[in-house]
Amino acid sequence: MSRLVVIGDVLLDRDVDGTAARLAPDAPVPVLDDPTEHPRPGGAGLAAALAAATGRPVSLVCALGRDGAGATLAELLADAGVLVLDLGLDGPTPEKTRVRASGRALVRLDRGGGASPMGPLTVAAREAIAGAAAVLVSDYGRGMVAREDVRAALGALPADVPVVWDPHPKGPAPVPGVTLATPNESEAARLVPDGGAGLAAAEHRARTLAHRWRAVSVCVTRGAAGAVLVGGDRAALAIPSPALASGDPCGAGDCFAATAAVRLAAGALPSEAATAAVEAATAFVAAGGAGSAAARRFGRPRPRARENAAGLAARVRDAGGTVVATGGCFDLLHAGHVGALRAARALGDCLIVCINSDESVRRIKGPDRPLVPQDDRVAVLAALACVDAVTVFGDDDPRAVLRTLRPHLWAKGGDYAAADLPETPVLAEWGGRAVTVPYLSGRSTSGIIDTALQRAG
């Protein structure tokens, strides 16, 4: 598999976490009890680590200082599976420290804020860029992507090599012809001050920037409002964000750009890559952002589309993630199904749906079922954002397929009692558990069929 090359400014990020339940006696400031420090790659380093967590080989062209922070950052990136092509930084490695109480930031401390001279682009870095499957430029305004040798190497890439450019207000314009530029809404507003607010304004700014930068496409990310993508003369694509109650947005832009670059490297269209990136960034924020425990393990972005169910389960399990499975006939998919599937996906790092084959459904439901054949049921379920893989089983219950998948959790709608499920003893063989998730009452396939027949009669 060809490498994704990330180019940009790296930082060492630290979260100092503790609890604050009292004020200091000598000043009206909170006292942080039992603080613990969690270092992690920041800037382009976070984007590279998140991209590497998808399983694609990643090289990072960056500049590290010859100091303790640089050594720590190099070790963290190596642990994340990122190949670092270090140009050397003549100055301190930039550091950013967030002091947090119960997950809420109290203060941020920055060191090494100014840009420092870097060494020339090495032969290894040039060769990596020239042979990349795709390139992600992660600009944090510290000078890396403003360099003439870097821009020349990017400009020399063949037109069929996707380039994603995540810009910074203090950085340069993207090189002409990038596949996808990803400014956020506030960055786009600073670059194009006119236009007001809202979706129409975001589209106007995206089109203006696409023309200004001669970009193939521009996607303005809008946080909880999703994103808007423009390209050429085509109508704008408004990409909604999945429902999100709360979360830490730190690192969401890096997650978005990394996901888009990985998808483009795999041959996706910009529209497909941007849609996947909105979904991944939303899940990343909901999981706690860059400072979450999952991100400290360099996250586990959504598994690859249409991956084999058994392979997906093994990969997520090996990475320390939680495998969730659910099952049923899913004949005439309805709102109750979708609500239960979304709830099940939120319990872990992947959701595998096990569906009864047509023969199995006929034995359980009768000769007139299913109304929808299994290939169509698989296609509809696989199209849902909350579903990572679908597998078909021919038995009357899923015990055999569960022994193959070995999920941590087996989720069923709340109209079931976990203790009564025949799968419960099987799950216990490897320490799995059956759980129930909320289910919308009054929704059922049989009810839909009965209503249709009554109205037809």
Catalogue the active-site residues: 254
Paired strand residues for 96: 13, 110
d(CA 119, CA 148): 12
- Using a CB cutoff of 8 Å and minimum separation of 24, what contacts does 426-431 make? 426/399, 426/402, 427/402, 429/403, 430/406
Q: Are 248 and 274 in contact (CB under 8 A)?
A: no
Question: Residue 21 burial by CB count (10 A; 0-12/13-18/19+): exposed, middle or buried?
Answer: exposed
d(CA 277, CA 265): 13
**Cis peptide leading into residue 193 (ω within 30°):** no
CA 56 to chain centre: 14
3-state secondary structure of 254: helix
Write the DSSP assignment of 36-104 as a string of letters: EEEEEEEEHHHHHHHHHTTT--EEEEE--BSSHHHHHHHHHHHHTTEEEEE--BSSPPPEEEEEEETTE
3-state secondary structure of 212: helix
- Biggest alpha carbon distance in the chain? 82
Single-letter residue type at 339: G
CA atoms within 13 A on the CB side of 36: 6
Element (H, E) at 86: strand 82-86
d(CA 55, CA 156): 27
d(CA 57, CA 49): 10
Single-letter residue type at 415: D
